[in-house]
Structure 1
Amino acid sequence: MIKIMTAAERHTTHDDGIHSEFSFSFGDYTDPHNEHFGSLLAHNEYVLKPMEGFDRRFHHDLVIVHLVLEGKLTYEDDKGKFMELTPGTIHVVNTGSGVYHAENNASSSEDVRYLEMWFLPAEPGLEASHHQGDFTQAQRLNQMLPIIGSGDGERSLPQSLDVVMYSSILETGKELTYSLSEDRRMHVYVISGQVEISSEDGVFDISSGDAARIQRRHELTFQGNSSEGNSEVVIIDMP
């Protein structure tokens, strides 16, 4: 089954220099029919104006992913972590038993645009931990690059979460294929451009800000379909 959620269906807020787009119930936005998708609890896109951001707040037993699309995002927390995240960097924090954290735009002139995703951890109450990885456009061009994933290795998530996240930049007409297992789900999000998804369920065109929620076994083909350049997409395989 493939369900398309368009950019227009997201919940939009503007508050003190922060523009937010929520794909699921979040904060003051409540929709009992749209609370999560598998282990993915939140998929938010933010734009922070210069010198704006979020004050420290407390979270526990969440794995939070930051993926910067434009600008430079500053992350800091009560565990002594201070990071400046730029496009081509992914940051993962397993909040475990609890973390006070904040994200801000320290620039006086440029906006920051980024994705923040929340996942259920494999185990509650673990010690807080961080993971940071870097990748290039060349590594993602017409390829599904696993920017975080389960198991061991350079790109593994802290305290192994059963999720693999891919990033891809597709030239128009180029295709990628993927076999989704019967017991897995997939969340596909278009950052820019347009992507055509083909499977036994049909053909679906999704554009910037749109998402596809896919369940059960599928043989999938993703094709870049933009008339104005390349298309960038994030693909998450999860339980």
Structure 2
Amino acid sequence: MLTIRKASDRGAANHGWLKSFHTFSFANYYDPEHMGFSALRVINDDTVEPGMGFGNHGHRDMEIISYVLEGDLAHKDSQGNIKTLPVGEFQLMSAGSGITHSEYNHSKDRKLSFLQIWIEPSIKGQMPNYQQKNFGQDEGLTHVISRDGVGDTLQIKQNANLYQLILKDTKHAELKSTSARQYVHLISGELAVNGVEIKSGDGLKISDEKLLSFSSLSDEPIKALVFELP
């Protein structure tokens, strides 16, 4: 079964310094039909104005993934990590028993655009942890996050996987999955997944499908995130 979550149907928030689209219920946006999908709880498409950001705040028992689309994300947390996340790199912060952090756009003239993703952990109360890595821009599917950290992937505290999908000259890719559910978030281009067509910003909830077939439908390069979920 494949169900489209259209970009135009997402929740929206405009705080002046921050514009955000919420795939699932978040903050003041509440929709009982869209509370998450399996362990995937949040996908926020955030745009932060120059010199602005999220002040120091806390999290607990959540796996938080950030992926920058434009600009640079400045990160600082209570574990002593002071990092910059540029375009194309993945950040995974395991909040565990509790962590505080801030996220800022320190540029004076460039906007920051990034995806903020939350996945509920299967193990709670663990020591907080921070990971960051650039997996490159190879075409096809690149494994970036796994439960066991296999193949130098970032390690998440959930039975979940995350892949980066890029299609340029190559127009097709496939994923054989043993997971109960999958979710695709399309960042750019137009894409068919098992024949179902989605556009930039759309999501696709998937269940009872063991083979995912991805086909580019546009001249624009395809970039998407593909989740395998419990």
Percent same amino acid at aligned positions? 27
Following TM superposition, the consecutive aligned residue runs of length 4 or more in structure 1 with deviations greater than 6 angstroms are: none
Match of 2:146 in 1: 149
Gaps (5+ residues) in structure 1?
none
Match of 2:224 in 1: 233
Gaps (5+ residues) in structure 2?
none
Which secondary structure does the structure 2 equivalent of 1:144 belong to? strand
Match of 1:223 in 2: 215
Match of 2:44 in 1: 44
- Give me the whole-angstrom Cα distance separating, in 2, the residues matched to 1:164 and 1:133: 15
Match of 1:192 in 2: 188
CA RMSD of aligned residues (A): 1.4
- Give me the whole-angstrom Cα distance separating, in 1, the residues matched to 2:149 and 2:41: 24
Return the offset for 1:122.
2.1
- Give me the whole-angstrom Cα distance separating, in 2, the residues matched to 1:213 and 1:168: 16
The amino acid across from 1:162 in the alignment is: N
* Alpha-carbon contact 2:92-2:154 (below 8 Å) kept: no
CA-to-aligned-CA distance 1:190-236 (integer Å, 9 cap, x gap)? 101111112xxxx2111100010001233221011113x21111101
Report 1:152-231 matches (<5 A): 152-153=149-150, 154-158=152-156, 160-171=157-168, 174-181=171-178, 184-198=180-194, 203-227=195-219, 229-231=220-222
The amino acid across from 1:233 in the alignment is: A
After TM superposition, the score normalised by the length of structure 2 is: 0.95
Alignment of 1:136 onto 2:132: no
After TM superposition, the score normalised by the length of structure 1 is: 0.92
The amino acid across from 1:126 in the alignment is: Q
Return the offset for 1:173.
6.5
Match of 1:112 in 2: 112
- Give me the whole-angstrom Cα distance separating, in 2, the residues matched to 1:233 and 1:95: 25
CA-to-aligned-CA distance 1:46-103 (integer Å, 9 cap, x gap)? 0111011111111100010001111100111122111100112101011011111111
